[in-house]
C-alpha cells in the first residue's frame, strides 16, 4: 500500500509538529494566565469543545462548479466558477474608515478525460491593479490533476498545499467573520501557493486522508520584520528552484470531529554557493531551513460548530539572515485561535443560515529573537472577534463583526526619526467590520 511509504516520509514533519505543539502550548498557557477571566474562560471552553470548518449541510447541498469538477460530477467539460468579497472597516483609534472590493476570483477548469483535469483561479485584489494602486492581479492556482485511482491523485503546477484550515476553505461563505483569521493570514499565509507537485490520497480502510508535496522554497532574503513568511513567497513568479520545500498533512475523521496535523520544511537560500558563502549562509536544496508545524481540530453538530488551531514556526539560522540582510526577523513565531459558533436556523431551514460566533486569537511574531535582533512588543497580539453572518442561500453571505485588538509595548529603539507630533502608541484598538461574500 502506498500509504505506508507516505507515512514514513511524513514522520520527520510530524516530529517537528510534536515539538512545535509542546512549545506553543507553553506559550499559550502563559498568555491565558495573563488575560482576564472572561477571555480565558472563552478560550478554554472553545478549545475543549473542539472546532469545525466543515461545510454546513446547507452548503453541501449546493456545490459550486469548481466542486463539481473536483468531484468528477460536472455536466460539461469546461467549467466557470468564482468567488469574491467586499468590506467596510472602521478604525476606532484613527477615527477613519475604509471600504473596498477585497477580492474577486474567477475559476476556469477543464476535464480532459476521466483521469486528467485542469484547475485555475485568477484573482484580482483591491479592484485596481495599476501603477500607484494597491491592487494586484495574480494566479491563485493553476495545476493539472491526475487521478490514479478512486483514492489517490497527483497535482502538478501552482497549487495550495494542505496547511491549516483556511488554505483549503478560503471562500467567504466557508468561514466566520469579515476578515480571515489573523493567525491564518499572517503566520500561515492564506491561499499560500507555490509551484510543485503533490500527492493526495485516502485510506480505503480508515477515515484517513494524507498528502505530501514538493515545491519551491521560500526566499529568506525577502523576509521582513513583522511579516512572518509572507514576503518570502514566490507564488509562482520566477521562483528560485535552487532551494526546495517539503509539505505533508494527515487528516482523520471520527464522528463529528476532524483532526489534522500538517507541516512544512524547506530551504530559504537559493543563491549560488559562492554568493551564499560570502554571506556566511548555507545554500542548497534545504540550506538555511525553516520549519512550520500546525495542528487543528474541528467539530460540528446540531447547529453548533467549534474549531481550534495552533501553529509554530522555527527559523534556527535567523541570526545569519539578520547579519546578511539587516532584516531584524525572529527565530520563532507562534499563533493559535479558538472559535465557537451557532446557527440559529439549523432546525427551521436547510438552506438559510444565521450564525453568531466568537473567536479568540493570540500570536507573537517575534516569540524568540536572535542576539542580533530587536524585540517588537507590538507584534505580540491578541484579538477577540464577535460577530454574525446571514446566508439567505448557501452561496451568498452578509457579515458583521467587532474585533478588539490588544498588543504589547512599542520598542522605542525601532522608531527611526519619529515625528515630534506623533501621538503616543495605543496598545488597544477596536475595529468594526461589515462585509458581503459570494461563491458560485
Pick the CATH number of 3-439 from 2.40.160.10, 2.30.30.40, 1.10.10.10, 3.40.50.970: 2.40.160.10
| Residue 347 and residue 397 in contact, taking contact as beta carbons nearer than 8 Å | no
pLDDT score recorded for residue 240 = 87
Number of residues assigned to the chain: 440
pTM for the full predicted model:
0.84
The rounded distance, in Å, linking the Cα atoms of 35 and 417 is: 34
Q: Which residues of 58-82 are buried (b: 16+ CB within 10 A; e: fewer)?
A: bbeeebbbbbbbbeeebeeeebebb
List the one residue out of 404, 413, 408 whose CA is nearest residue 426: 408
**Three-state helix/strand/coil letters over 77-109:** CEEEEEEEEEEEEEECCCCEEEEEEEEEEEEEE
pLDDT score recorded for residue 61 = 44
> pLDDT digit of tens for each residue in the chain (440 aa)?
444 444 444 444 444 445 544 544 454 445 444 443 333 333 323 333 333 334 544 444 445 666 667 766 667 799 999 999 999 999 999 999 999 999 999 999 999 999 999 999 999 999 998 877 788 999 999 999 999 999 999 999 999 999 999 999 999 999 999 999 999 999 999 999 999 999 999 999 999 999 999 999 999 999 999 999 999 999 999 988 889 999 999 999 999 999 999 999 999 998 989 999 999 999 989 999 999 999 999 999 999 999 999 999 999 999 999 999 999 999 999 999 999 999 999 999 989 999 999 999 999 999 999 999 999 999 999 999 999 999 999 999 999 999 999 999 999 889 887 777 778 899 999 999 999 999 99
Indicate the DSSP class of residue 54. P
pLDDT score recorded for residue 51 = 32
Q: How many CB atoms lie within 10 A of CB 216?
A: 23
Phi, psi of 100 (to 5 degrees): 180, 175
Amino acid at each position: 500500500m502506498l500509504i505506508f511509504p507516505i507515512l514514513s516520509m511524513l514522520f520527520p514533519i510530524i516530529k517537528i509538529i510534536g515539538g512545535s505543539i509542546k512549545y506553543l502550548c507553553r506559550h499559550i498557557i502563559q498568555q491565558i494566565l495573563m488575560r482576564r477571566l472572561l477571555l480565558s474562560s472563552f478560550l478554554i471552553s472553545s478549545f475543549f469543545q473542539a472546532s469545525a470548518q466543515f461545510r454546513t449541510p446547507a452548503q453541501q447541498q449546493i456545490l459550486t462548479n469548481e466542486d463539481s469538477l473536483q468531484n468528477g460530477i460536472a455536466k460539461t467539460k469546461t467549467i466557470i466558477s468564482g468567488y469574491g468579497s467586499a468590506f467596510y472597516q472602521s478604525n476606532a483609534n484613527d477615527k477613519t474608515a475604509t471600504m473596498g472590493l477585497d477580492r474577486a476570483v474567477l475559476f476556469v477548469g477543464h476535464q480532459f478525460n476521466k483521469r486528467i483535469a485542469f484547475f485555475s483561479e485568477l484573482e484580482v485584489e483591491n479592484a485596481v491593479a495599476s501603477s500607484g494602486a494597491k491592487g494586484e492581479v495574480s494566479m491563485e492556482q493553476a495545476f493539472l490533476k491526475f487521478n490514479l485511482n478512486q483514492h489517490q491523485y497527483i497535482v502538478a503546477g501552482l497549487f495550495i498545499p494542505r496547511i491549516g484550515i483556511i488554505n483549503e476553505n478560503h471562500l467567504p461563505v466557508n468561514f466566520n467573520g469579515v476578515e480571515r483569521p489573523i493567525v491564518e493570514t499572517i503566520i500561515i499565509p492564506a491561499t499560500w501557493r507555490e509551484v510543485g507537485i503533490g500527492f493526495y490520497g485516502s485510506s480505503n480502510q480508515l477515515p484517513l486522508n494524507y498528502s505530501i508535496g514538493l515545491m519551491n522554497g521560500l526566499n529568506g532574503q525577502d523576509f521582513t520584520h513583522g511579516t512572518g513568511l509572507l514576503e518570502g513567497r514566490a507564488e509562482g513568479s520566477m521562483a528560485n528552484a535552487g532551494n526546495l520545500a517539503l509539505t505533508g498533512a494527515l487528516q482523520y475523521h471520527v464522528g463529528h470531529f476532524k483532526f489534522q496535523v500538517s507541516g512544512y520544511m524547506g530551504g530559504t537560500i537559493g543563491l549560488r554557493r559562492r554568493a551564499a558563502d560570502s554571506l556566511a549562509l548555507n545554500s542548497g536544496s534545504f540550506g538555511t531551513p525553516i520549519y512550520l508545524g500546525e495542528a487543528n481540530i474541528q467539530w460540528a453538530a446540531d447547529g453548533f460548530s467549534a474549531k481550534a488551531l495552533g501553529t509554530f514556526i522555527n527559523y534556527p539560522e535567523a541570526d545569519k539572515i539578520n547579519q546578511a540582510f539587516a532584516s531584524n526577523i525572529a527565530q520563532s513565531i507562534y499563533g493559535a485561535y479558538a472559535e465557537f459558533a451557532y446557527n440559529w436556523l439549523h432546525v427551521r431551514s436547510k438552506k438559510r443560515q444565521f450564525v453568531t460566533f466568537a473567536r479568540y486569537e493570540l500570536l507573537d511574531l517575534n516569540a524568540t529573537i536572535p542576539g542580533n535582533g530587536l524585540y517588537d512588543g507590538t507584534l505580540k497580539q491578541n484579538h477577540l472577534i464577535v460577530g454574525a453572518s446571514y446566508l439567505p442561500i448557501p452561496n451568498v453571505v452578509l457579515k458583521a463583526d467587532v474585533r478588539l485588538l490588544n498588543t504589547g509595548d512599542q520598542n522605542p529603539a525601532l522608531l527611526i526619526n519619529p515625528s515630534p507630533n506623533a501621538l503616543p502608541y495605543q496598545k488597544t484598538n477596536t475595529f468594526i467590520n461589515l462585509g458581503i461574500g459570494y461563491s458560485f
